[in-house]
Structure 1
Amino acid sequence: MADQESDGQHGGKGEPPSTLPGFLGVIDTAISRIEALALAAGVLLMAFNTIANVVSRFVFQYGLYFSGELNRILIILITFAGLGYAARHGRHIRMSALFDALNVPGRKMMMIVITAVTAIAMFALCYFSIGYILQVASSGRILPALQIPVHWIYLWVPVGFFVTGVQYALTTVKNITARDVYLSTHVLEGYEEDEREI
């Protein structure tokens, strides 16, 4: 199958190219690269910050005063950048007993509904999170150590919800246009061999 060969089937090495046509494929690929960069940078910075804090505590007898706040910022970044990444790789938790019992056309229709509703929910959460950030910004709170406004650390929240919403919307399009059933724009529905054995 052409779709199966082009989708990089379940966790191939590196990011497979987008299987969406034209401009949608460009958006899909760009989001993929931004997510991977944000996650890699966040994890590496958190590891470096934590190690530096431990070394400072043992060598100089005091920790880095900003370490806790920086890790808090990075946890938020990793969590909300990871939402879209998990959606892209079809790794969100799913309850699939009813879904698995359906035939292919039924699974395709259900997947279209699921991804469309999830996209709408993500865009709604994006909207509400912007309202929350504006509320925090109006309070004028700042982080004690880093002396930056508290609302800045939440900026990744609406970005993460928006990117995840886009990812699910693209998956909806993929399921409408493709012959097979897709969990994401390049992950076919089904189970990997190790999941079947469990």
Structure 2
Amino acid sequence: MKILRWLDEHFEEYILSGLLVVIAVVMMLQVIMRYVFNASLSWAEEASRYAFVWSALVSIGYTIKENSILKVDTLVEALPAGLKHLLITLINLSVTLFFGYLFISSIPAVKRVVLTGQTSPALKIPLGWIYFAAIAGFFLATVRSIQKTGQDLGVSIRKKGA
């Protein structure tokens, strides 16, 4: 159970930190190679791009978990408490359904890419691994949205019962 709790609390943080380190190290290596040794790496820009794509998609779930996802809540804040909780629950359910739909829709799209057998030009890694970021990111966003909805419903129920 401790492992599951740790993963729930830190999974995205460690992935995003690792990807940021990869981007920084690869770009610094590229700068050193280009300006010190007058030779560039053919794969550096591609590796950084793919790490950025992964970080962008994984960060969706992280922003939902941390409640820092971009939103405009002027209307929500202007409502009375009862309507406010109802609207927040409806928004959370909509977000969950949206990311659930994207998750389900991304599976056949990634499967098609995998079946083509394409590889990236410089790194020669299967593009399916790159496109798998959509499945992973939308899955994490769906899970975090479900968690967020459950937390908000729990808070709302506790406030009504108190």
Write the letter of the residue equivalent to 1:174.
Q
Q: Partners in 2 of 1:172 and 1:73 — Cα distance?
A: 31
What's the TM-score, normalizing by structure 1?
A: 0.74
Q: Which of 82, 96, 101 is 1:119 aligned to?
A: 96
What's the TM-score, normalizing by structure 2?
A: 0.89
Q: Tell me the equivalent position of 2:57.
A: 80
What is the RMSD of the two structures over their aligned residues, measured on CA atoms?
Answer: 2.1
Deviation at 1:27, TM superposition (A): 5.4
CA contact (8 A) 1:66 1:145 kept: yes
Deviation at 1:47, TM superposition (A): 0.3
Structure 1: state its 5+ residue gaps: 1-22, 182-198
Q: Partners in 2 of 1:45 and 1:180 — Cα distance?
A: 44
Alignment pair present for 1:157 and 2:134: yes
Aligned-partner SS, 1:178: helix
Q: Tell me the equivalent position of 2:67.
A: 90
Q: Tell me the equivalent position of 1:48.
A: 25
CA contact (8 A) 2:96 2:146 kept: yes
Deviation at 1:97, TM superposition (A): 2.5
Q: Which structure features the higher share of helix residues?
A: 2
User: Quick one: structure 1 residues 93 and 78, their matched pair in 2 at CA, closer, same or farther if it must change by over 3 Å?
Assistant: same
Deviations 1:61-110 (A, max 9, x none): 11111101111110111101111111111112212222111111111111
Q: Tell me the equivalent position of 2:16.
A: 39
Runs of 4+ in structure 1 displaced over 4 angstroms?
25-29
